């Protein structure tokens, strides 16, 4: 770690850290700035000031104070410093520069699960723009690595499941969501997503169990109620499906965009009624 000859810099960094801990971010930022004026390469001061500036929505100013800092000489703080710089670049809409900083963070600390996770986030967003499959594969690989480094990292497991689902790897996605549900049994989204994968695999009765659990945890979970309507339709319970669809739309009016599905359900319900009444089937004469 770099040793500062200027004791004043060390004192200023300590004072600023104390101000930040006391809930005085403006004073802390000012004092960190004084430290950087004396030594622009002071990584600790750059790290502290950049965090405050980011919280204030000032990523360009945060990047300025990081650019002159000697991040590589910060010892145990170096990986964190590069992760901070990656976040700044991300906030500035520079994914490739952000990935470069995350790569350095991972080189310094391979067990840094957050850097692996953030790498996955960037690759997935790049896929959303480019639709290049290699970015989706890279995102899945990064999320999986984050979960490997931190087995209880449910956010990484959840994003891994979403990414695998997009790739059509539904069995693997189901495993990821199942692990989420075990680790966080009160997480409605995990059960909802698990149900969606079961639906994709044609296991509609099991999907219903998951949707029911998601709705038990969060009774106003419109997406889970809507997905339950789909499962009901798949197993032939069209009337129930229409009822749950109406409930979902009542909770989330944006689901009115699914009006075509409502018409399809109503049409199927009418067909079933006519079939029971003997009015839908025509054998012909003679």
At 58-68, the pLDDT tens digits run 999 999 989 88
- CATH number, domain of 233, equals 1.25.40.10
Answer whether residue 7 is part of any domain. no
What mean pLDDT is predicted for residues 104-114? 94
Question: Of the candidates 74, 118, 75, 124, which has an alpha carbon nearest to the alpha carbon of residue 100?
Answer: 118
Residues 236-267 pLDDT 10s: 887 787 888 778 777 777 776 555 555 555 55
What's the pLDDT band for 4 if we cut at 50, 70, 90? very low
| 228 belongs to a structural domain | yes
pLDDT confidence bin for 102, thresholds 50/70/90 = very high
Asked which of 83-92, 94-103, 257-266 is least confident by mean pLDDT, the reply is 257-266
CA angle 211, 216, 218 (to 5 degrees): 95
Secondary structure (DSSP) of 208-265? HHHHHHHHHH-TT-HHHHHHHHHHHHHTT-HHHHHHHHHHHHHH-GGGGGGHHHHHHH
Please give the span between the terminal C-alpha atoms of the chain, in angstroms, as a whole number. 97
State pLDDT tens for residues 120-171: 999 999 999 999 999 999 999 999 999 999 999 999 999 999 999 999 999 9
Q: What is the mean pLDDT of the chain?
A: 87
Q: What is the pLDDT of residue 261?
A: 57
Q: What's the pLDDT score for residue 128?
A: 93
Supply the pLDDT for residue 97.
96
Average pLDDT of the residues in 52-57: 94
- Overall number of domains in the chain: 1
3-state secondary structure of 112: coil
Residue 245 lies in a domain: yes
Least confident of 159-168, 190-199, 268-277: 268-277
**Which percentage of the chain shows pLDDT scores above 90?**
68
Look at residue 118 and tell me if it is in a domain. no
pLDDT of 286 reads 35
Range of the domain at 248: 185-277
Query: Is residue 153, in this structure, part of any structural domain at all?
Result: no
How crowded is residue 205: how many other Cβ atoms within 10 Å of its Cβ? 10
In a domain, 246, yes or no: yes
- CB 28 within 8 Å of CB 16: yes
Decide if 83 is inside a domain.
no
Q: What is the pLDDT of residue 8?
A: 86
Please indicate, yes or no, if residue 33 is contained in any of the structural domains: no
Q: Is the pLDDT of residue 271 over 50?
A: no
């Amino acid at each position: 770690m770099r040793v500062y000859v200027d004791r004043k810099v060390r004192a200023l960094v300590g004072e600023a850290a104390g101000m930040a801990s006391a809930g005085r971010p403006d004073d802390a930022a000012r004092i960190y700035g004084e430290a950087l004026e004396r030594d622009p390469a002071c990584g600790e001061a750059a790290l502290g000031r950049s965090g405050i500036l980011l919280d204030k929505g000032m990523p360009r100013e945060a990047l300025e104070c990081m650019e002159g800092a000697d991040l590589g000489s910060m010892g145990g703080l170096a990986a964190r410093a590069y992760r901070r710089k990656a976040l700044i670049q991300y906030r500035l809409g520079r994914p490739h520069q952000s990935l470069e900083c995350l790569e350095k963070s991972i080189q310094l600390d391979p067990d840094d699960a957050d850097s692996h996770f953030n790498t996955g986030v960037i690759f997935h967003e790049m896929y959303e723009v480019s639709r290049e499959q290699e970015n989706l594969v890279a995102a899945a690989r990064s999320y999986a690595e984050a979960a490997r480094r931190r087995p209880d990292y449910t956010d990484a497991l959840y994003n891994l499941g979403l990414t695998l689902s997009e790739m059509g790897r539904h069995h693997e996605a189901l495993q990821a969501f199942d692990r989420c549900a075990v680790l966080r049994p009160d997480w409605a989204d995990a059960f909802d997503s698990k149900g969606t994968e079961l639906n994709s695999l044609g296991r509609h009765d099991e999907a219903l169990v998951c949707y029911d659990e998601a709705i038990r945890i969060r009774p106003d979970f419109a997406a889970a109620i809507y997905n339950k309507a789909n499962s009901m339709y798949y197993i032939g319970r069209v009337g129930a499906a229409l009822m749950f669809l109406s409930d979902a739309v009542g909770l989330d009016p944006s689901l009115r965009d699914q009006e075509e599905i409502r018409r399809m359900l109503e049409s199927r319900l009418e067909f079933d009624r006519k079939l029971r009444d003997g009015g839908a089937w025509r054998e012909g004469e003679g």
